[in-house]
Amino acid sequence: MLCFPNCKINIGLYVTRKRPDGYHDIETVFYPIIAEAMAGEPMNMQLRDVLEVVNAPVTSLHMTGLPVKGNDSDNLVFKAYHLLKNRFPGIVSGLDIYLHKVIPMGAGLGGGSADGAFMLRLLNDYFQLKLSKPELAEMALQLGSDCPFFIHNNPQFATGRGEQMNDIMLDLNAYCLQIICPEVHVSTAKAFSMIQPKSATFNLQRLPELPISEWKNCVANDFEAPVFEMHPELAEVKQALYDQGSVYASMSGSGSAIYGLFEKGEKGKIKSSIPFKEFYLQ
């Protein structure tokens, strides 16, 4: 059985409180980036991972594409398998797991979280476990704060650690999306340590009421200030997107990916002092 984990972008991101458990409360809008592969398009330009499971005597993880640091046991796909194996020991059996990585890591696009959540969804179907979306989301939270979003995989206004979500009626299909992924790995822990939590300066639930041309005057990502201080070249990419005609540009999550929304048929010609990957979704 095969599936294609997609990524997400954050539209606005406010860090509002440091919690007693060490996590932070946030307010953000998660927006899924789901695009069908175009005929003849190279796999590494599709901005989606590939995940497949096949029956096997012993479970093992096989990875291709972008290199993934760490041991197999630390991979969220492997952890998702063991969550369900422990809950359904008589049903979930051995598998060969194939993961092809395309979504850049450390970019704020949620690729790893998507892989873990899609693995739960895939195994739920593969072994006919009949888990509901709320049950899958609860399990996904054990993998990471962003993971429950990919169980729903539609635009969500998120609070808490990011796991408390409500549907938001937001549709960006009238625009083209250009995503620039510089070869910079941002430390989320370091970025959090440089933020002073405060109340959100804009109610992101109002996004659908606001023309996208006005977002740049109202919507902010609290991570941009500390991350741009650490990596000024990222600020230059964001400004370049605006200079090239982007209607709205922002860093996604804690970075380092920078995206721009353009009118249909338009895109920016971006130059940077550091290497980057570029994805363009029409």
Alpha-carbon distance of 75 to 112, in angstroms, equals 8
Query: What pairing do the DSSP bridges indicate for beta strands 50-55 and 2-3?
Result: antiparallel
Alpha-carbon distance of 47 to 227, in angstroms, equals 23
101, 146, 222, 267: the active-site residue: 146
The answer for residues whose C-beta is within 8 angstroms of residue 81's C-beta and 6 or more apart is: 59, 92, 95, 97, 119, 123
- Residue 146 annotated among the catalytic residues of the structure: yes
Alpha-carbon distance of 206 to 100, in angstroms, equals 37
Query: What pairing do the DSSP bridges indicate for beta strands 248-251 and 258-263?
Result: antiparallel
Q: Is 273 exposed, middle or buried (0-12, 13-18, 19+ CB in 10 A)?
A: exposed
Nearest to 227 by CA among 58, 10, 8, 62: 10
**Other C-beta atoms within 10 Å of 53: how many?**
21
Q: Which positions are catalytic?
A: 8, 146
